[in-house]
Amino acid sequence: MSTTVHGKTNEQPKWAIEMIRTLLRNHFGIRVSSTMVPDSTCIVSIPCKNFKSGSKPGEFQSINPGPPESFYEYRMIGDNRMQVAYYNVGGVRYVAGVCIYFKDPYQSKLHYRAFLIPILLNKPVFWSKYNLKEEKMTILVRRNTREVTLLTENRYGQTGHYRLQRQKRVLEPRRLLHMYCYESFDSLEISALKPHFCEAENKLVAIAKWNEKTFTRFGI
């Protein structure tokens, strides 16, 4: 949409698009450019923590589902321009995500009740307690370099790979090679890790000893 004044054509601001860019920038703390959210955007789907967007607009899926009887509910708000998806687990509703529909990018942002979106996205987070796995850590030693890698698995079955920096006594994320490149040692029960306060880092850490070597994990 544009207007002509004194022979000059001026493009009107797209309030709705600017509104969502600002919202995403503030919520995620990232730079949101016109490439990420172009002016031609007509639908924006924002999943909450522990959820992901589905194949259809307004559809969200739990990364770690609850019990089989859990289900989704949907509600339209903001003059029918926003759809909220709720995940109902045992009678408790969690916000799974918000989907925003742009009928006209030039429409006033007031139509969208933008103040509701951060409130919805910051509702209590859903953490699944269904079909949890045993948390564990496994020590991997690379055969040719003897470099130590820590393989972790959380209660949701997600794995992480960390390299031990001996001088700093910290674990840094790293890419894992094929398992045949490593020697595997007995797993460590995460519950056996002992929490301590590190004065140098001013953080709570978990420390475990294996074969007279100390492994630390910061940021607990």
- The answer to whether residues 154 and 113 belong to one domain is no
- The answer to whether residues 81 and 176 belong to one domain is no
Domain boundary among 121, 150, 180: 121
- The answer to whether residues 90 and 143 belong to one domain is no
Dist CA 47 CA 61 (whole Å)? 9
Dist CA 164 CA 96 (whole Å)? 36
Helical H segments across the chain, by residue range: 15-28, 116-121
- The answer to whether residues 20 and 117 belong to one domain is yes
Report the Cα 83 to chain-centroid distance in Å: 20
The mean pLDDT of 212-219, rounded to a whole number, is: 46
Whether residue 97 lies inside any domain: the answer is yes
Question: 10 Å Cβ neighbour count for 139?
Answer: 21
- The answer to whether residues 117 and 141 belong to one domain is no
- The answer to whether residues 18 and 52 belong to one domain is yes
Whether residue 74 lies inside any domain: the answer is yes
Domain that holds residue 147: 136-218
Confidence grade of residue 199 (pLDDT, cut at 50, 70, 90): low
Whether residue 131 lies inside any domain: the answer is no
171-185 pLDDT per residue, tens: 788 888 888 888 776
Dist CA 176 CA 116 (whole Å)? 42
For the four alpha carbons of 201, 206, 212 and 213, in that order, the dihedral sign comes to negative
Domain boundary among 121, 145, 167: 121
Encode 78-95: b = buried (16+ Cβ within 10 Å), e = exposed: beebbbbbbbebeeebbb
20-40 pLDDT per residue, tens: 888 888 888 888 888 888 888
Whether residue 127 lies inside any domain: the answer is no
Three-state DSSP state, 80: coil
Q: What are phi and psi of 109, to 5 degrees?
A: -65, -15
Number of structural domains the chain divides into: 2
- The answer to whether residues 57 and 105 belong to one domain is yes
Domain boundary among 62, 93, 121: 121
Please, which residues bridge with residue 61 across strands? 52
Residue with tokens 């925003």: 100
Query: What does the mean pLDDT of the chain come to?
Result: 76
Report the Cα 25 to chain-centroid distance in Å: 15
Please, which residues bridge with residue 100 across strands? 44, 82
Candidate from 129-133, 165-169, 203-207 with smallest mean pLDDT: 203-207
